[in-house]
Structure 1
Amino acid sequence: MRALCRFVLLSVLRGISRMHDAAPLSPHLLQEGKDYLKRSVSSWLPSLRPQTEQLAAQQEEESEQSGVPPYESRITTAKLLIEAEEPEMVMEVCEGLLEEDDEVVQVWYLLGWVCYLQRDKPEEAESFRDSARTYLTRAKKLYVKLCCDDPPMLEHVEQLLSELRPEGASAADDDEDDEDGPPIDDIADDFIHSSDEEENAMEH
């Protein structure tokens, strides 16, 4: 929790420095904040835990939550991981959240946002754009269904959808993206697989 708070503080300070055109925080401080965040997340995110610890955690799962933060805290963590430019970790956190409750607008919004940020990735641009449209459309539908009250988030969702919409398409076409888009199962695996392919390409 201390690590998370430290990164939040650094993120806020960076935002304030931008707003007031002040001298930006040093790269060292920002990197330190990212390291603290990743260290904190590694204590409960499955892919970052040693295999022996994962087995032990599975055995204890019925009696306790193995240090996994509350749902809302993990949503906050996903937002911070987007800021820290850790898309694979964002996807894994969100995948875990969806397994617990797949009708939380913010989770679908964050999934769409992180895919949007990856939309220009070489050789995967179309896949990320399609995924972003699917998840953002799902977020918009749930927003209406659940009568949410977060105008800034809805405005951002609509802005991203308008940028992702193919030329000549209308907002009504977004519904088709939701129905025909990629499945939500193993969302994080897509990112991990992509990262492995990039590493192999670099080796050759």
Structure 2
Amino acid sequence: VDNESPEVYQLLASVRLSQERIEEAKLALEKSMSFWANKDLGDQSMPSYELRISLVKLLLELAEYSKALDVLSDLQQENDEVVDLWYLYGWCYYCMGEGTQDENERIVNWKDARDCLTKCKKLYHKLNTEDEGILQHTKELLQSINSIVQMAPSNAEDNEEVGEEDSWEDFSSDDDAANEQNEDPMEL
């Protein structure tokens, strides 16, 4: 066994997690990351993109959201056209929102999650990805987020972000009709 291999410690973390030995899993992931955490992105000793995606999944299972975001940020710099990247970003922000008691912080995290999951969904279709599980979970998360965030205060900009342009079109149509009749649109 190679004691200097990040893959070995990541595998150990996965085993410990399946054994519900959470603290040991966290320690194994910390050890795994210590081999490459301070290296440049182009360094040949960096684990593969796929291995680091797997690392993020483990970090999320262990609720290590800050570390997961750090790894995702590096992955994004390498290649931001990966469905899993945006799905995991969205899932991370969603979990962070669920884990906080502060309502404003929850909304901010869920808005970030929505942005990432929307990007995931667009990339999924653009790249003709075949992982139906990711698409289905992405849709479920977006539906859940939108049902909550839409009810949050100051959601005027949310409607536009989510793609509810129809409400703006209706408003401008009413506005145009009022202007044609020389009425004050504020009286509507």
Give me the TM-score of the superposition, normalised by structure 2: 0.70
Which 5+ residue runs of structure 2 have no aligned equivalent?
1-6, 151-157, 164-188
Residue 81 of structure 2: aligned partner: 103
Residue 181 of structure 1: aligned partner: none
Q: How far does residue 176 in structure 1 lie from its aligned partner after superposition?
A: 2.5
Q: CA RMSD in A?
A: 2.4
2:148 matched to 1:148? no
Q: How far does residue 106 in structure 1 lie from its aligned partner after superposition?
A: 0.2
Q: 1:42-71 deviations in whole A, cap 9, x for unaligned? A: 22224xxxxxxxxxx55xx77x43x31011
Q: How far does residue 175 in structure 1 lie from its aligned partner after superposition?
A: 8.2
Q: How far does residue 10 in structure 1 lie from its aligned partner after superposition?
A: 2.5
Larger C-alpha radius of gyration, 1 or 2?
2
* Superposed counterparts of 1:71-82, under 5 Å: 71-82=49-60
Residue 139 of structure 1: aligned partner: 120
Show structure 1 runs of 4+ deviating over 6 A.
Answer: none
Counterpart Cα distance in 2 of 1:135 and 1:117: 13
Distance 1:80 1:167, change over 3 A: closer
Counterpart Cα distance in 1 of 2:127 and 2:107: 30
Give me the TM-score of the superposition, normalised by structure 1: 0.65
Counterpart Cα distance in 2 of 1:73 and 1:168: 33
Q: How far does residue 166 in structure 1 lie from its aligned partner after superposition?
A: 3.7
Q: How far does residue 84 in structure 1 lie from its aligned partner after superposition?
A: 1.4
CA contact (8 A) 2:110 2:149 kept: no
2:30 matched to 1:45? no
* Superposed counterparts of 1:1-204, under 5 Å: 1-11=7-17, 13-14=18-19, 25=20, 29-46=21-38, 57=39, 64-65=43-44, 67-120=45-98, 121=100, 122=102, 123-166=104-147, 176-177=161-162
Counterpart Cα distance in 2 of 1:92 and 1:69: 15
Letter matched to residue 136 of structure 2: E
Counterpart Cα distance in 2 of 1:39 and 1:92: 16
Letter matched to residue 45 of structure 1: A
Q: How far does residue 30 in structure 1 lie from its aligned partner after superposition?
A: 2.2
Paired positions, count: 147
CA contact (8 A) 1:115 1:131 kept: yes
User: Which one has more relative contact order, counting CA pairs under 8 Å at least 6 apart?
Assistant: 1
Counterpart Cα distance in 2 of 1:142 and 1:175: 20
Q: 1:132-179 deviations in whole A, cap 9, x for unaligned? A: 00000000000000000001111111111110004696xxx888249x
Q: How far does residue 107 in structure 1 lie from its aligned partner after superposition?
A: 0.3
